[in-house]
A and B are shown apart, each in its own frame.
Chain A
Amino acid sequence: MSEPVLRTENLTRRFGGLTAVDNLGISLAGGRVHAIIGPNGAGKTTFFNLVTGLLSPDSGRIFFRGRDITGFKPHVISRLGIKRTLQVKSVFGELSVADNLWITRQARHRFLHPFRPAARDLEAKLQVEQTLEQIGLADLAARPAGTLSYGDVAMLEIGMALIAEPSLLLLDEPTCGMSPAETSRAVAKIRDLARTIDIVIIEHDMDVVFGIADDITVLAQGAILASGSPAAIADDERVREAYLGRPEDEDFVEEAAHA
């Protein structure tokens, strides 16, 4: 693949005096799982917000498969096939789990029929049922999403990303708040997805990162500190000093994750 799936040029975003993303030039090749790691405040989520149009950059450009998407509205970017999950889990709380998936599926269409009964759309209904099976929430289909446990909401978010059939999926700490069993289920799901779609994942859980990523980019203070294969990143002195700490020092990573 010659054209990277996602590329930025001199991307900068400031909040007052703080430069969250600083002249960032990132280029992510297709067909691989990219992980973005870095201490809190490194600009990871801001980077996602810029790519998905929730924020507009102060300067710089963003290209999705060679197309300049800088300044596009979030729903336009979403319809181009870039879907994301949010760090603070975010679903439609008063809609049922099934309806959350259903509307996510429908939103791919430009036109929402104003009079046809929603229940008559059998294609979407089938997709919803399949996705419910895949994410293991079939038993909770009729429950309002706002009453789910945190781990189940995180799973539902992955399901919503799935059912939209994205071409690029941005996952912002997808396993945060999941139990170990849920985490391994989610990791398996993400690996499975990676075979057909491009994935960029922000994650603090190093087991997850080293378990799925083909490439790792380390951000610090809005700029790239290092990037390369997981093995190269794990061996990189600067990264170890700045972020990972000593391998056996789990507490340090934990602290970084919750700082």
Chain B
Amino acid sequence: MTRRSLEIGMAVGAATFLVAVPWLIPALTDNFWVSVITEILIWSLFASSVNLLFGYVGLLSFGQALYFGFGMYGVAIGIDHVGLSFWPAFGLGIASALAMALVSGVFAVRLSWHYFAIITVVFSLIFYFLAVSMKPLTGGDDGINFSLPPVFRLGGSVFSLTDPTFQYFFVLAVVSLCFFLMYRVINSPLGKGFLAIRDNDLRASLIGLNVYVLRLIAFVMAGFLAGVSGALFAFFGRYASASYMFYQVSGEAVVWTIVGGAGTMFGPLVGTTLFIVIREIVSSHWEHHSLIVGLLAILAVIFAPKGIVGLWNGWMTRLGERDAAAPAKPRLTLQAEP
């Protein structure tokens, strides 16, 4: 089996599985897993925002929960306080996350490495405490509960996220679209500029790349991904809460990304799936399930610095080299075939 056919096979398999989930899961196990998979999709989009910054631009952010929280509150405040319908609320969530990312990015991307990491944490802490204390607007610790407006009406029928199958496909479609957009960006001239800055920002500035502006663009794009995932999570949970803006949420996404594979398209999806599945299975039996998370993170950093997907890509490259080397053999030697 060649590398390419194996990869195409896996992509088709994964896509088929994701489309079949609403029928496959109830046939195999409990319906509850459909909602777990929905949640995995949303959180993997959130982890992608860490991945875009860390894996492709070299900026380690511990503050992405801030934009997730803005996406959440945009939706919740839009629906509950302002009385918006579905799409305007979705738009408000994304727009508030983008605006927040732009404002904090202007300051944050001037810095790099630990200074950058620290300022992202500081920003998210400031707004976490603001959200907790501004009770009339945010509901503080209790958060905001709201009832879902319909997504759209077609003829006589109303489509709403209260239907778990429709909700699943809605989330799948939005997350897939975001992954597709990110894929396009990574493989564009802009994406190569990101990679150049990640590898060597001094050199990047000497060839004429505006490192500051490119980092800011990446930061706002990451804010977009986090904002969309936060908005989706608000719809999914029908509520918004300041607790999701806490830096622990940001930190989890960093761990998922690193274990799954930073700088790979699907690393965050793999990492997020792994940890949420472990959490769902283990947490009902053992309260210290986060020990497993820590252990896996340590193992990944030591033995698979490019994460699970990086490990896999390494095997695939070796497989590809073997494929390439095999037909060349008779030309290199005069020996008869064994």
B187 touches A118 (CB 8 A): yes
Cross-chain contact of B192 among A73, A90, A103 (Cβ < 8 A): A103
In the complex, how many residue pairs between chain A and chain B have their CB atoms under 8 Å apart? 100
Q: Which range holds the interface residue count of chain B?
A: 20 to 34
Cross-chain contact of A117 among B187, B195, B200, B202 (Cβ < 8 A): B187
In the docked arrangement, what's the CA distance between A90 and B203, Å? 7
Q: Does B114 contact A (CB under 8 A)?
A: no
Majority secondary structure of chain B interface residues (helix, strand, loop or mixed): helix
A79 touches B189 (CB 8 A): no
Measured between beta carbons, the chain A residues less than 8 angstroms from B290 are none
B208 touches A108 (CB 8 A): yes
Nearest CB of chain A from residue B292's CB, rounded to whole Å: 31
Q: Does B185 contact A (CB under 8 A)?
A: yes
In the docked arrangement, what's the CA distance between A155 and B217, Å? 32
Q: Does A86 contact B (CB under 8 A)?
A: yes
Instruction: Choose the segment among A9-17, A91-99, A216-224 that binds chain B (4+ C-beta atoms closer than 8 Å).
Output: A91-99
B199 touches A95 (CB 8 A): yes
B188 touches A160 (CB 8 A): no
A92 touches B196 (CB 8 A): yes
Measured between beta carbons, the chain A residues less than 8 angstroms from B25 are none
Cross-chain contact of B203 among A92, A94, A109 (Cβ < 8 A): A92
In the docked arrangement, what's the CA distance between A58 and B214, Å? 29
B191 touches A118 (CB 8 A): yes
A107 touches B188 (CB 8 A): no
B203 touches A86 (CB 8 A): yes
In the complex, per-residue mask of A78-105: 1 if CB is within 8 Å of any chain B CB, else 0: 1100011010001111110001001110
A54 touches B202 (CB 8 A): yes
Cross-chain contact of B184 among A73, A104, A115 (Cβ < 8 A): A115
In the complex, per-residue mask of A46-86: 1 if CB is within 8 Å of any chain B CB, else 0: 00000010100000000000000000011100110001101
Measured between beta carbons, the chain A residues less than 8 angstroms from B205 are 73-75, 78
Cross-chain contact of A118 among B181, B192, B202, B207 (Cβ < 8 A): B192
In the docked arrangement, what's the CA distance between A116 and B193, Å? 13
A112 touches B196 (CB 8 A): no
In the docked arrangement, what's the CA distance between A72 and B145, Å? 52
- Asked, given contacts A84-B206, A91-B200, A104-B207, whether A113 binds B192 with beta carbons under 8 Å apart, the answer is no
Nearest CB of chain A from residue B201's CB, rounded to whole Å: 10
Q: Does B2 contact A (CB under 8 A)?
A: no
- Asked, given contacts A83-B207, A93-B200, A164-B207, whether A102 binds B192 with beta carbons under 8 Å apart, the answer is yes
Complex: chain A residue closest to B213, CB-CB: A75
In the docked arrangement, what's the CA distance between A115 and B208, Å? 20
Q: Does B211 contact A (CB under 8 A)?
A: yes
Complex: chain A residue closest to B210, CB-CB: A75
Between B193, B195, B200, B211, the greatest number of chain A beta carbons within 10 A of the residue's beta carbon is seen for B200
Q: Does A237 contact B (CB under 8 A)?
A: no
Q: Does B316 contact A (CB under 8 A)?
A: no
Measured between beta carbons, the chain A residues less than 8 angstroms from B198 are 94
Q: Does B209 contact A (CB under 8 A)?
A: yes
Nearest CB of chain B from residue A121's CB, rounded to whole Å: 7
Q: Does A106 contact B (CB under 8 A)?
A: yes
- Asked, given contacts A93-B200, A94-B195, whether A107 binds B208 with beta carbons under 8 Å apart, the answer is yes
- Asked, given contacts A90-B200, A103-B193, A103-B196, whether A117 binds B188 with beta carbons under 8 Å apart, the answer is yes
In the complex, per-residue mask of B154-198: 1 if CB is within 8 Å of any chain A CB, else 0: 000000000000000000000000000100110111111101101
A114 touches B188 (CB 8 A): yes
Measured between beta carbons, the chain B residues less than 8 angstroms from A103 are 189, 192-193, 195-196, 207, 209
B206 touches A52 (CB 8 A): yes
B189 touches A113 (CB 8 A): yes
B192 touches A114 (CB 8 A): no
Given contacts A78-B205, A116-B189, 20 further A-B contacts (CB under 8 A): A74-B205, A75-B211, A83-B207, A90-B200, A90-B202, A92-B195, A92-B199, A94-B195, A94-B198, A94-B199, A103-B193, A103-B196, A104-B207, A107-B209, A112-B192, A112-B193, A113-B188, A115-B184, A118-B191, A160-B207
Residues of B within 8 A of A (CB): 181, 184-185, 187-193, 195-196, 198-200, 202-211, 214, 217
24 A-B pairs with CB atoms under 8 Å apart are A73-B205, A75-B210, A78-B205, A79-B208, A83-B207, A86-B203, A91-B203, A92-B196, A95-B199, A103-B193, A103-B196, A106-B189, A107-B204, A107-B207, A108-B208, A112-B214, A113-B189, A113-B190, A114-B191, A115-B184, A115-B185, A116-B188, A160-B207, A164-B207
Residues of A within 8 A of B (CB): 52, 54, 73-75, 78-79, 83-84, 86, 90-95, 99, 102-104, 106-109, 112-119, 121, 160, 164
Q: Top 4 closest A-B pairs, CB basis? A: A78-B208, A92-B199, A74-B205, A112-B190
